[in-house]
Structure 1
């Protein structure tokens, strides 16, 4: 599909589900987003725990389905390192960016993502267009980050594939758990500062 195709697939999936399940759960499908929203004071700790548990379970099940499909090739399937869309960095992974580049990329882009989410869904944001704005932001994030880390900005999205890929993917997983969460909190702080008089959710 190429860089643009993959980026669009991720972003448009979020657009679709923002409108499909946004009214039920706010389309919380990312622990970094949930933690960022928690830091912004727009969700309770109890709800955040439930959401994160569901996200992790969903990610593992999704990766399992992907693994099952791929290993069903009649001519055989060699998973190799960083299989099933795992995130990574360093020697042997795509353009071989170092750990610092990977961490900064994931943290900064997650911060941007959270800022857009919180801003567009705030009481002064355009709620009817929020799903589209959030999805298109994710498209742009993927276009930047795919060549560097494969794009996480979502700890659950990284956890699922890493569990089944093992090896380097699992040893490097910590970065894709920590950096997006750090970025999510930073994005939340930026939103609170920028929208200091608009802290109440729409």
Structure 2
């Protein structure tokens, strides 16, 4: 009697061929004649508008439902902080998924600036994206106020401010680290070399980016309401237009920009060893 022979199939995964993409043009003025450039700017505007509209109404709804003066006997205080974090993270997941193929799905001036520092986008595209994002944020917050003006004014318009009991230094540190986590995740999730090397692992880039936003909100909502997105903070401040929101506004620009620059340098120079590669290329040419 022949013995049964168990055949074990082994699957070998091979990485795809990978070529390092060239850096984006610094100024990128030639993009002005391309419709795809304007289409991308429109996509960033609409995505940021939708982001602010949904998230601002989520924050206002939570504060209204948890207000003891309105619902003294309510057993549930709305979606809670966890629900707010899910709203921000979930919207980023949805919007990045929808716009990644058109504009890259930045929806955040800090992300755009970090990608510019890494030479992933041109200066022109970065500036136009930032303007589109800020305008979209203003319109999104304006729509939220237009639909629920009384509640918007009563509950602070979801404007980012340093919470009582926290110093501006603590708030700045929270914004720097929170944005570092977000932008670092963006670089890692969209790294073409990683996608080629780990081609056997299906990675949906918007998912880890959305989760990064969710996790950072859990950590920093009690401190600053969580900015990590200058457009989000600016749009809410413009529509709410109170002194406290404007006094703290610099924190929600300086912190995210510093965090984005740190993440870009860490990913490109340390993880991708850009400086070592450049030095090796220089020596070989010499």
Query: 1:17 corresponds to which residue?
Result: 95
Question: 1:68 aligned to 2:143?
Answer: no
1:182 deviates by 0.8
Query: 2:51 corresponds to which residue?
Result: none
Question: 1:185 aligned to 2:261?
Answer: yes
Question: 1:108 aligned to 2:177?
Answer: yes
Question: 1:131 aligned to 2:209?
Answer: no
- For the 8 Å contact 2:157–2:236, the answer to whether it is kept is yes
- Aligned-partner Cα distance in 2 for 1:96–1:154: 23
User: Gapped runs of 5+ residues in structure 1?
Assistant: none
Provide, for residues 40-84 of structure 1, a one-character-per-residue CA deviation record: whole Å limited to 9, x for no partner. Answer: 11111111011111001001001111111221xxxx54725x821
How large is the RMSD of aligned CA atoms in angstroms? 1.9
- Aligned-partner Cα distance in 2 for 1:174–1:83: 18
1:131 deviates by 0.7
SS of the aligned residue for 2:159 comes to: coil
User: Gapped runs of 5+ residues in structure 2?
Assistant: 1-78, 196-201, 278-286
- Aligned-partner Cα distance in 2 for 1:167–1:99: 15
Query: 1:52 corresponds to which residue?
Result: 130
Give the total of aligned pairs: 190
Question: 1:40 aligned to 2:109?
Answer: no
Question: 1:150 aligned to 2:225?
Answer: yes
SS of the aligned residue for 1:24 comes to: coil
Find 1:174's aligned residue among 246, 250, 253: 250
TM-score, normalisation: structure 2: 0.63
- Aligned-partner Cα distance in 1 for 2:93–2:204: 10
Larger Rg belongs to: 2
TM-score, normalisation: structure 1: 0.88
Instruction: Go from structure 1 to structure 2 and tell me whether the alpha carbon gap of 1:135 and 1:44 turns closer, same or farther (over 3 Å shift).
Output: same
- For the 8 Å contact 1:30–1:154, the answer to whether it is kept is yes
- Aligned-partner Cα distance in 1 for 2:204–2:152: 42
- Aligned-partner Cα distance in 2 for 1:120–1:15: 12
- Aligned-partner Cα distance in 1 for 2:208–2:225: 22
Question: 1:195 aligned to 2:264?
Answer: no
SS of the aligned residue for 1:162 comes to: helix
Query: 1:87 corresponds to which residue?
Result: 160
